[in-house]
Structure 1
């Protein structure tokens, strides 16, 4: 069989589709609309429980008990939100959570930035081993240290103006320290990797100008790490805010419990109004949503670092 090498005549139409033909544009259009549709479906799947909780919190329990949660509402109101805030005492628990989460996040990022700078930008012996130790700390299950930390906090004294129990146990300092200890490893790992991407010429120029180590860290490196710090601050605040394990173990005074414990006050002994519980859950989740909205631009910038080059 021989191939036909004759040039196509001017009157003979080519059977190969051109780049601008509808047949060639059809796969491109499918790919163009397929990815957004898939992402929208995944986003809707993740938002479905939250949307259902908001929808249930606006309806009376009697209505949902009779017609079901997936029914058309007869009346919508914010009565459950007012009732959830007053009956659970959320104002006090919100204050307790802020007294724990805000110092823990600031101390974690401050100490982690020091260690990350020493490991990634300053030439010290054993820097890689130190980074591995901080990273390996995240692999340790928190439940393993519950008993040793409980016994240790009972024996560490504190002055009366720092703790009513005169020990580290049953104080906000216990929750702050344990959260800092467990979160600092992850922050060191992320910040050290980010600092390695910074141009070395910037620090070399600063050294030539006579900048010391503190100036290199505080006035040069740390401002460049603002996107990474904002992303970590958002994640750390969310994790510490939603934590309940450590508060359940190290806090015995009910007036010192964080916001996650306020939902237990909405559960009855023989009956639980799940619409009221849904309203309380939405109120508890609002601060984390607010923090994300405030740091959204920096958070997205921190997540997309290194996605493109140049």
Structure 2
């Protein structure tokens, strides 16, 4: 079968694989390593063209201290948490209920509604820029955290429903039938029978949506402006001024902005892997 495990390959290919793997990993990590290097350089290095060599002086604490105490970066980080956490809760909660309805009940129009959820995932989000911006202006939600939260919940629910519906359909249906025979109400079946079985899927989906929303830059720029509502991805551009670019500050703030989703993944890694692989084998 293809792809064959590397252990079953020839000795020459195994050696080639072991030699090329560190090189491929280095190439993949090179942009991140460059940002980490820039984040500890002084501003004078960029003026003198000293980009990739050893810094003239290590400004680790100075650069990161200025990011935290001499800029609006803490406010941008706070905005990101305020936007991301309610979005994850809202999208996952709505998709869990919608996935339960579409996966368990049989009614006319079930597949049509499901296809509508799927079709929303194939709409290029760039073409929605003008109508969504006009809608937020008309509703008074432009440049507000609530506007971003509502939009992300609406936009992410389609993908989440696809994920949840397929997961629920793989659950053992006799459990639901047994609960119905005992006279358990439908909402209690959802809360006490289905939801406990969905914990791996909920964890995996939460990590994915948290990463998607936290790393969003396009809608953060389109629907917000200024530190009152902008998340950290858009706030990093505040170091790009009219007369120059503070590359060392942008790099330091980029590293800080990348830490929460990385921490989220490692904290939920076990549940994330379980949620993605559950049902792969019997």
Q: Secondary structure at the match of 1:255?
A: coil
Shift of 1:55: 2.2
Deviation at 1:40, TM superposition (A): 5.1
Partner Cα separation in structure 1 for residue 147 and residue 49 of structure 2: 47
Which residues in structure 2 correspond to 1:90-101 (within 5 Å)? 90-101=73-84
Report what 1:185 is aligned to.
158
Residue of structure 2 in register with 1:45 after alignment:
27
Q: Does 1:268 align with 2:268?
A: no
CA distance in 1, matches of 2:279, 2:27: 28
Shift of 1:276: 2.3
Among 70, 73, 95, the alignment partner of 2:52 is 70
Q: Which residue of 1 aligns with 2:275?
A: 302
TM-score under structure 2 normalisation? 0.86
State the partner residue of 1:159.
Answer: none
1:209 lines up with 2:182 in the alignment: yes
CA distance in 2, matches of 1:303, 1:41: 29
Unaligned runs of 5+ in 2: 1-6
Moved more, 274-283 or 41-50: 41-50
Task: Supply the distance in 2 between the matched residues of 1:152 and 1:276 (Cα, whole angstroms).
Answer: 35
Unaligned 5+ runs, structure 1? 1-24, 157-166
| 1:256 aligned residue (221, 229, 252) | 229
Tell me by how many angstroms 1:198 deviates. Answer: 1.1
Change (3 A) 1:39 1:127: farther
Distance 2:197 2:32 in 1: 36
CA distance in 2 between partners of 1:37 and 1:192 (Å)? 43
Partner of 1:83: 66
Q: 1:55 aligns with which of 37, 61, 67?
A: 37
Provide, for residues 17-40 of structure 1, a one-character-per-residue CA deviation record: whole Å limited to 9, x for no partner: xxxxxxxx9956566666676665
CA separation of 1:209/1:231 partners in 2, compared to 1, >3 Å: closer, same or farther? same
Contact 1:118–1:124 (CA under 8 A) maintained in structure 2: no
Matched, 1:139 2:122: yes
User: Over alpha carbons, which structure has the higher Rg?
Assistant: 1
Determine helix, strand or coil for the equivalent of 1:139.
coil
Number of equivalences: 275
Could you tell me how far 1:155 is from its partner in structure 2?
3.2
Deviation at 1:121, TM superposition (A): 1.4
Match of 1:196 among 169, 173, 179: 169
Deviation at 1:211, TM superposition (A): 2.0
Measured against aligned partners, the alpha-carbon deviations of 1:101-127 in whole angstroms (never above 9, x if no partner) come to 111111111111111111111222221
What's the TM-score once normalised by structure 1's chain length?
0.79
Q: Contact (CA 8 Å) 1:109, 1:184: kept in 2 or not?
A: yes
